[in-house]
Amino acid sequence: MSTRTDFRLYHANALEVLAGLLAAELRTPVAGQPLLAPEVVLIPQVAMRRWLQATLAQAHGVAANLEFLTPGEFVQRALDANVPGAGEDLDAAALHWRVHAALADPALMRQPLMRPLRAYLDAGAADPLRAWSLAGELAQALEKYKAWRRDWLLGWEAGQDPREPQALLWRHVAAGGAHRARRITAYLDGFGGDDASLPQGLPRRLFAFAILNVSPDVLRVIATQARVGTLHLYVPSQTRDYWGDLQRRRGGLDDGGGENPLLQAWGAAGRDFMAVLGGYEVVHPDVEIRGDADPLEGGGALHGGLLRRLQSDLFHRRPSPPPAPTADDPRTRLPALRRDDPSLQVHACHTRLRELQVLHDQLRALFDDPRFDPPLQPREVAVLAPDIDPYLPYLDAVFGGRGRADASFHQAIPYAVADASPLAGEPLAEVFLRLLGLPVARFGLAETLDLLASPPLA
């Protein structure tokens, strides 16, 4: 069965532009789809969902009947609808337990390939958590292989790499059962080709917004939706040109031949994804649409500031400016930076509480800044942190307006938290987990007093 695909790829260097393109496409109804069927949007994380919902609501007056999924959730849905073995996948939790059981299997651990692991466990035989922690690290590595190195796992099951310890361990824990790598292979073999059957259970229209760090296998599964409907893939790209050929920066040396240093240092994941898209070996878009704009050509309160200049250098892939300005460098014709330019700031804070206090004061100053017309609103601000959980105990005290003696900052700043651990705001759950760890904990006086002073126990 030969079918025509409808895979549309959108590039832009601003998320606002991509969100505007998505909002415009939402106005067009899908032929043959029930009017009340939800639109499916793939997003990289929950924080992106909040921002995208607010942006779409601003464009349409309301944002409703939208189903947001991560790429992994969409792949799982496609596999369950088309490949036998739903609910039988060897997931991360099951893999952790199986690896832990394998490390306790005498027959496996006596094999010569397992000698390094056996020596590590024997060196810490008095620590009951040593084997469990090692099992977690090994399971995490195997879980990543299921997403990025499917060929390794399937090759190991077929007997390849007989001198590889990981291959021996994987054959032991997989034991011929169902797992994601095998099911993805079955799915792509059955539905990935141009002449293959059409997959079932996929939406007639799919939006994939700002998903960059996904494996080629996940991208292949997502692309099969274009065989049954229309796939709109929105890709933010800092540069206007193809940069899948970006040279890495190694050892602090500039190996890129005059490449932008920020792009070299921080653009590895984006470069790899652009190489996958631009190589046309994994997926092949039918239509490519660009919506780029030089950041220095836009308006706004921070137009021409340091941040816009950095973004413009990324956009044009300009290298670092030479020590002596040259006449042909367009940066030499820019006006001098203002000494009070707030577009890029670095603050050194000694505690998390102080970080939040400085953030609060800086945001309040920006909300009252007359250079913003219309004024900057809290809904337009996103605060990112590698791990938000340690900041949760201080959030309400700082942003809720409590305990502030300064009358100029009495007004609370509304906020919402995304990606927090479900247990982070539950004191009783924290106490319960600490009690579970008592048998293997070294409970000193300070830890004991902290536990006794916790509200659930007090």
For the stretch 64-113, pLDDT in tens is 999 999 999 999 999 999 998 888 788 888 899 999 999 999 999 999 99
pLDDT recorded at residue 371:
82
pLDDT recorded at residue 331:
78
pLDDT recorded at residue 165:
93
327 has a pLDDT exceeding 90: no
Is 249 or 327 the better-scoring residue by pLDDT? 327
Which residue in 109, 158, 164, 166 sits closest to 139, CA to CA?
Answer: 166
Burial class (CB in 10 A: 0-12, 13-18, 19+), 295: buried
What is the spatial distance between Cα 151 and Cα 182, in angstroms, rounded to a whole number?
A: 10
User: What is the token pair recorded at 82?
Assistant: 């088309």
256 has a pLDDT exceeding 70: no
323 has a pLDDT exceeding 80: no
Q: Are 28 and 3 in contact (CB under 8 A)?
A: no
pLDDT recorded at residue 281:
84
For 4-13, 103-112, 432-441, which range has the lowest pLDDT when averaged over its residues?
A: 432-441
pLDDT recorded at residue 42:
96
| Region 263-279 average pLDDT | 84
Percent of the chain with pLDDT over 70: 92
Instruction: State the pLDDT confidence band at 167, using cuts at 50, 70 and 90.
Output: very high
DSSP type of residue 11: E
pLDDT recorded at residue 246:
81
Is 148 or 194 the better-scoring residue by pLDDT? 148
Instruction: State the pLDDT confidence band at 401, using cuts at 50, 70 and 90.
Output: low
| Region 246-265 average pLDDT | 69
- Per the prediction, the chain carries an average pLDDT of 85
| Region 327-346 average pLDDT | 80
| Region 47-69 average pLDDT | 91
| Dihedral Cα 179, 182, 183, 184, nearest 10 deg | 120
Q: Are 206 and 212 in contact (CB under 8 A)?
A: no
| Region 1-18 average pLDDT | 86
213 has a pLDDT exceeding 70: yes
Is 380 or 207 the better-scoring residue by pLDDT? 207
The amino acid present at 262, given as its one-letter code, is L
Q: Which helix (H) or strand (E) holds 288?
A: strand 287-290
How long is the chain? 458
pLDDT recorded at residue 135:
94
Q: Given strand 6-12, what is the order of strands in its sheet?
A: 66-69, 39-42, 205-209, 230-236, 6-12, 287-290
For 153-157, 201-205, 328-332, 346-350, which range has the lowest pLDDT when averaged over its residues?
A: 328-332
Adjacent-strand bridge partners of 233 = 9, 208
DSSP SS3 for 6: strand
Q: Are 22 and 56 in contact (CB under 8 A)?
A: yes
| Dihedral Cα 195, 200, 202, 203, nearest 10 deg | 100
Nearest-Å Rg of the Cα atoms of the chain is 26
For 6-20, 27-41, 388-402, which range has the lowest pLDDT when averaged over its residues?
A: 388-402
Most distant CA atoms of the chain, gap in Å: 73
pLDDT recorded at residue 52:
92
230 has a pLDDT exceeding 60: yes
446 has a pLDDT exceeding 90: no
User: What is the token pair recorded at 388?
Assistant: 């938000």
User: Which residues are CB-contacts of 206 (< 8 A; sequence separation ≥ 6)?
Assistant: 40, 42, 74, 222, 225, 229, 230, 231, 232
pLDDT recorded at residue 426:
73
Adjacent-strand bridge partners of 288 = 9
Which residue in 284, 208, 217, 269 sits closest to 238, CA to CA?
Answer: 269
Cα 275 off chain centre by: 18
The pTM assigned to this predicted structure is 0.82
pLDDT recorded at residue 409:
46
Residue with tokens 């024997």: 122
pLDDT recorded at residue 408:
47
Is 411 or 263 the better-scoring residue by pLDDT? 263
Alpha carbons within 13 A on the beta-carbon side of 20: 10
Cα separation values, 408 from 248, 342, 361, 373, 403, Å: 48, 20, 10, 21, 13
| Region 12-25 average pLDDT | 93
226 has a pLDDT exceeding 50: yes
DSSP SS3 for 233: strand
End-to-end C-alpha distance for the chain, whole angstroms: 69
| Region 133-162 average pLDDT | 92
